[in-house]
Amino acid sequence: MKRLTLDEIGHLAGVSRATVSRVINNYPHITPEVRERVQKVITQTGYQPNVIARSLASNRSTIIGLVIPSDALTIFTDPYFPSLIQGITQSTNQLNLTLSLFLFHSMEEEIRTARSILNTGLLDGVIITADRREDSFVSSVLKHGLPFVVIGRPELVGDIPFVNVDNVSGAQLATEHLIAHGRRRVATIRSVSNTAGEDRFIGFQNALRNHSIKLDPRLVAYGDFSLESGYVAMQQLLPAKPDAVFIASDTMALGAQRAIREAGLRIPDDVAIVGFDDLPPSVHAEPQLTTVRQPVRQMGSTAVELLNNIVNGIHDSPAQIILPVELIVRASCGSEHTN
């Protein structure tokens, strides 16, 4: 089958070759009627753009990278990442972008791959997940000048483009909910591995302060967002006899539930639990987990849209976006509690 040219597509759609090119490359300021007419012709003819030719002509590859600076195993065991990647691919498909995923098994592999990414000119830009406090990848990209967006609050301060959720107010809302139901020995399982864990601990502290509750160091334990770390941290908290616990992730909360049950205690009667994420496993927990819902898919899709704007020089939207969160009340929190 003969490959159609942009001129031929334009002739069939009644527009210029330049307009066809703008539609294919998702340029703004094209009327919906013209865009629809061109896309209809493209669909009817089965036209496929020549990616190599487009890249040479526009100095763009239409390829963006997703860099997750975690151990690769984490990506396949933590339900957060599949939801995030779904949101990212949804937007890349809509924008006709190609997504390249970069996972690492070691710091040495990450450094080696970073050099390759930055020096080949293959990518138009990258999305980087801020799932580690000290991330050399952001610093490297900054120095190189490659367009990028961070998902999560970056450790570095300044005009770094990012998409995040309101972790502070979400954690505060969760802790306030526990206190409003009569809980006074409110513990927390926090994490210091990234800025999300730090911000959620700030929200937890704010809620205690608002109700004149002194923070007992024995009611603070640490995890790394994994199931096992939540289990171990909860075992460490139980001797201090908490009547509630705010946990910085759903995955850690599921581990904490197991530790509470093994200790012969009831949820929520003896210990109420609130997590953070509202990932699918929270609904299947026993009892179902009260949690703070963060729009993970929306965060991914918004990051792609922001990066696409940066790459195309469109600056009519904020470069630092914070999405709202919502408390989802289920059985693990319970009703009024009396000591």
Tell me what percent of the residues of the chain surpass a pLDDT of 90: 56
User: Confidence band (pLDDT; 50, 70, 90) for 49?
Assistant: low
φ, ψ of residue 65 to 5 degrees: the values are -105, 145
Instruction: Tell me which residue of 139, 135, 117 sits closest to 66, measured CA to CA.
Output: 117
pLDDT band at 56 (very low <50, low <70, confident <90, very high): very low
CATH class name, domain 167-294: alpha beta
Strands 125-129 and 63-71, how do they pair? parallel
Please write the tens of the pLDDT for every residue from 85-114: 999 999 999 998 999 988 777 777 777 777
**Alpha carbon distance 149, 152 (integer Å):** 9
Report pTM. Answer: 0.80
- At the top level of CATH, the class of 63-164+296-323 is alpha beta
Q: What is the pLDDT of residues 281-337, one digit of tens each?
A: 999 998 999 999 999 999 999 999 999 999 888 776 678 999 999 999 999 987 555
- pLDDT for 187 equals 98
**Nearest in space to 130 (alpha carbons), one of 80, 189, 222, 193:** 193
Q: Look up the CATH architecture of domain 6-58.
A: Orthogonal Bundle (1.10)
Domain spans in the chain, listed from the N-terminal domain onward: 6-58, 63-164+296-323, 167-294
Inter-axis angle of helices 195-210 and 167-180, nearest 10: 40
**Is 167-294 the same fold as 63-164+296-323?**
yes
